[in-house]
Amino acid sequence: MKRRILAAALLFCVASAGVASDSGGYITGLVTTCTGIINSYPADTTNWFFRGQHKVIQYYAYFIFPRGSGAGTAVKPKPFLFINPYELYSGKSGYRDEDNYVFENRWISPTGKTIGELVVSWNKNSATDKITVDSRDYVTYKFINYMGLTQTIIENGQERLPDETGLYHINLYINGELAAVTFFEMKD
C-alpha cells in the first residue's frame, strides 16, 4: 500500500512538472498501461498483470503539440549547418527543433534491469489529426508500445521477459527530457 501511495505521488509530481514546464511545449493527455488497444485507444486501464492471465502489457501515451512549424520557441541562428547532438539533447544549445521529436520508452524491473527500450522519431508536420484547445490549434500523437509476458517481442525493443514479481516502471522521454513515468505491478 505504501508503494502505491508513493508511486501515485511521484507520478503526480512528474506529470505536474512536465505540464507546467516550458521544456516541451506539449500537453500530456493520457498515459497508462492496459491489456489491449481498440481503434487506437486503450480497451481498459490497469496497472497490475498476472502471468497466467495476460499475454502482453500495452503502453499508451497521448499528447498534443502546438500546430505549425516553430510554434512557441524561436530558433537562434547558427553560423554552421551541423548541430551537435550532445549540444541539442543536453540543453547546452540555444537551438530548439519544434517540429521533430524523439520518443524513448524504457521499461524497468523492480531491481533496476531494463526489460526493453524503444526509440521512435516523429515529425509533427506529418500529423493529420487537428484539435483546438483554448483557441490554439494542436496536432495529436499517440505513442503505443507493448511487451510480451511469455515471449520476447524484439521489434518493440524488448530485451527480456518481465520475470520478476513486483512494481515495474516505464519512463517516457521526449527529446531527452523525462515526460512521464507509469507504474504497473507483476503478479503470479
Q: Which domains does the chain have, with CATH numbers?
A: 2-187 (2.60.40.3880)
| Per-residue confidence (pLDDT) for residue 75, from 0 to 100 | 38
- 98-133: per-residue pLDDT in tens? 788 999 999 999 999 999 999 999 999 888 889 998
Nearest to residue 111, comparing CAs of 161, 168, 49? 168
138 DSSP β-pair partners: 66, 131
pTM above 0.85, yes or no: no
| Per-residue confidence (pLDDT) for residue 110, from 0 to 100 | 98
List of the chain residues with pLDDT < 70: 1-24, 69-97
Q: How far apart are CA 41 and CA 144, in angstroms?
A: 9
| Per-residue confidence (pLDDT) for residue 80, from 0 to 100 | 46
Nearby residues of 127 by Cβ (< 8 Å), 6 or more positions away: 65, 139, 140, 141
| Per-residue confidence (pLDDT) for residue 86, from 0 to 100 | 66
| Per-residue confidence (pLDDT) for residue 64, from 0 to 100 | 94
Strands 27-34 and 37-38: unpaired
Backbone angles phi, psi at 7, to 5 degrees: -65, -45
**Burial grade of 113 (CB within 10 A; 0-12, 13-18, 19 or more):** middle
